């Protein structure tokens, strides 16, 4: 799709020029590659430590020698899957909790994104008095700690008879995600060239049509990047789930089960290293899957004036 779109543009350059650009665009300077590599290492090595740890079975080994020592070939024999076996063990019913996480997460991502797109459009492309003040008020709400909402919201949920259900989790996550979603999507929404919107409006399209046909397709990378984070926050959430739904197998997410594995007195935390990786698989898969929506040049073709 994107190749078809970019063909007319490429014709404007000669083949030599294109090759020149391609080479320049690559990470060609050894300095650049070096820096990127160092950053990548800094960001990865701590996690590798956890990964290695998760395969070191005995809690005692983990706290008596550094994880790098286990990498020496002589010590390979000490690697085992026992932490994973314990974590995935049948009595933990991770499958059930996994379903709960999934059921909690999908609507909790979809709802705030949709509502935020609508709101961001109104902030970016319609005029009304008090627009800026309302926008600032909304994004400032990011600073409200979720903890202060617990008593007021739970009181209402109890009044509605909905505490302990998925409904309040969906609602809560959607509400908490909105300020950032609107802030972030508004930023990308404003980058859409004015000419595109105005051209459509002149052709007689209403705001709803412009929103659906012009804006939405252009917002794909932004939606993807926010979706990743909303997914992540909801998936890794423990606080909202415990506060509004409780730690029961009916609704509690995977994170609740994993954090419980350390036991009442917090002594079995070596299981958490395995648990952390089990819980990480899904967000990483989502990140990889959504990456292909980070397409270059969706907005290209009409340069902003």
Partner 1 sequence: MFRSTRTLAALAAFVCLAGLTACGSTPTTDGSSTPAPAGSTDDACASYAQYGDLAGKKVTVYATFIDQEGTEYESSWAQFAECTGAEIAYEGSRDFEAQLPVRVEAGAAPDIAILPQPGLLRTMVATGKVKPAPDTVAANVDQYWSASWKAYGTVDGTFYAAPLGASAKSFVWYSPAMFADAGYTVPTTWDELTALTEQIAADGVAKPWCVGIESGTGTGWPATDWLEDVVLRFAGGENYDKWISHEIPFNDPSILESLNEMGKLIHDDRYVNAGIGDIQSIAAEPWTDAGYPIVDGQCYLHRAASFYQTNWTTLDESLVVGEDGDVWAFPLPGLTADSKPVIGGGDFVAAFDDRPEVQAFQAFLASPEWANAKATATPQGWVTANSGLDASLLKSPMDQLAFSVLSDPGVEFRFDGSDLMPSEVGAGSFWKEMTAYFAQDKSAADVLAAIEATWPK
Partner 2 sequence: MELFLHPESPGEKLLLMVIAIAIFVAVTGAILGLLSLPKRAPRWLTPLGFLAPAVVAVCFGLVYPAAVTVGNSFKDRTGQEFVGLDNYAQAFTEGQFLIVLRNSVLWVVLVPLLATAMGLLYAALVDRTRFEKTAKTLMFLPMAISMVGASIIWKFVYDNKVGLLSQAYVWVASLFGQEVTAPQWLMNAPANTAFLIVVMVWIQAGFAMTVLSAAIKAIPDEINEAALLDGLSQWQLFRTITIPMIRPSIVVVLTTVAMTSLKAFDVVRTMTGGNFDTSVIANEFYTQSFTNQNKGMGAALAVLLFVIIIPVIVYNVRQLRKSEEVRR
* Partners of 79 in the β-ladder: 56
Instruction: State in angstroms the smallest separation of the CB of 13 from partner 1.
Output: 45
**What is the C-alpha separation between 193 and 213, in angstroms, rounded?**
15
Work out what residue 82 binds among partner 2, partner 1, none; the CB cut-off runs from 5 to 8 Å by kind.
none
**What is the C-alpha separation between 123 and 121, in angstroms, rounded?**
5
Say which residues have a Cβ less than 8 Å from residue 74's Cβ, sequence separation at least 6. Answer: none
Binding mask 208-247 for partner 2 (x = CB under 8 A): xx-xx--------xx-xx--xx--x---x-x---------
Nearer of residues 223 and 271 to partner 1, judged by Cβ:
271
Instruction: State in angstroms the smallest separation of the CB of 17 from partner 1.
Output: 48
In 3D, which of 245, 219, 7, 201 has the Cα closest to residue 108? 245
DSSP string for 218-273? HTHHHHHHHHHHHHHHHHH--HHIIIII-S-TTT--HHHHHHHTTTTTT--THHHH
Instruction: State in angstroms the smallest separation of the CB of 141 from partner 2.
Output: 5
Work out what residue 171 binds among partner 1, partner 2, none; the CB cut-off runs from 5 to 8 Å by kind.
partner 2
User: Which single residue is written with the structure tokens 């492309």?
Assistant: 125
CB 278 within 8 A of CB 235: no
Residues 90-149 that bind partner 2 (CB under 8 A): 95-96, 99-100, 102-103, 106-107, 110-111, 114-116, 118-119, 121-123, 126-128, 131-132, 134-136, 138-145, 147-149
| Piece of 28-36, 72-80, 83-91, 195-203 that binds partner 2 (CB under 8 A) | 28-36
The answer to whether residue 130 forms part of the interface with partner 1 (CB under 8 A) is yes
CB 152 within 8 A of CB 87: no
Q: Which residues bind partner 1 (CB under 8 A)?
A: 58-60, 63, 127-130, 133-134, 150-151, 154-161, 163, 238, 242-243, 246-248, 259-268
């Amino acid at each position: 799709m994107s190749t078809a779109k970019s063909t007319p543009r490429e014709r404007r350059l000669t083949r030599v020029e294109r090759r020149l650009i391609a080479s320049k665009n690559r990470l060609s300077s050894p300095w650049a590659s070096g820096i990127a590599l160092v950053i990548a290492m800094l960001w990865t090595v701590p996690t590798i430590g956890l990964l290695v740890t998760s395969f070191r079975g005995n809690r005692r080994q983990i706290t008596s020698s550094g994880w790098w020592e286990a990498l020496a070939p002589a010590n390979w024999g000490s690697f085992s899957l026992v932490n994973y076996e314990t974590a995935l063990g049948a009595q933990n019913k991770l499958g059930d909790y996994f379903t709960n996480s999934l059921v909690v997460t999908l609507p909790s991502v979809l709802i705030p994104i949709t509502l935020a797109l609508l709101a961001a459009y109104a902030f970016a492309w319609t005029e009304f008095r008090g627009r800026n003040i309302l926008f600032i008020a909304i994004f400032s709400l990011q600073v409200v700690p979720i903890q202060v909402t617990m008593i007021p919201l739970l009181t209402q949920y109890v009044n509605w008879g909905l505490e302990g259900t998925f409904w309040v989790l969906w609602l809560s996550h959607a509400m908490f995600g909105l300020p950032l979603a609107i802030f972030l999507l508004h930023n990308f929404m404003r980058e859409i060239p004015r000419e595109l919107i105005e051209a459509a409006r002149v052709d007689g399209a209403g705001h709803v049509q412009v929103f659906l046909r012009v804006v939405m397709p252009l917002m794909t990378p932004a939606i993807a990047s926010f979706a990743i984070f909303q997914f992540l926050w909801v998936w890794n959430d423990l606080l909202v789930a415990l506060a509004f739904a409780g730690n029961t197998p009916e609704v509690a997410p995977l994170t609740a089960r994993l954090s419980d594995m350390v036991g009442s007195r917090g002594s079995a935390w070596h299981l958490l290293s395995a648990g952390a990786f089990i819980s990480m698989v899904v967000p990483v898969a989502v990140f990889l899957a959504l990456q292909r929506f980070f397409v270059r040049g969706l907005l290209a073709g009409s340069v902003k004036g």
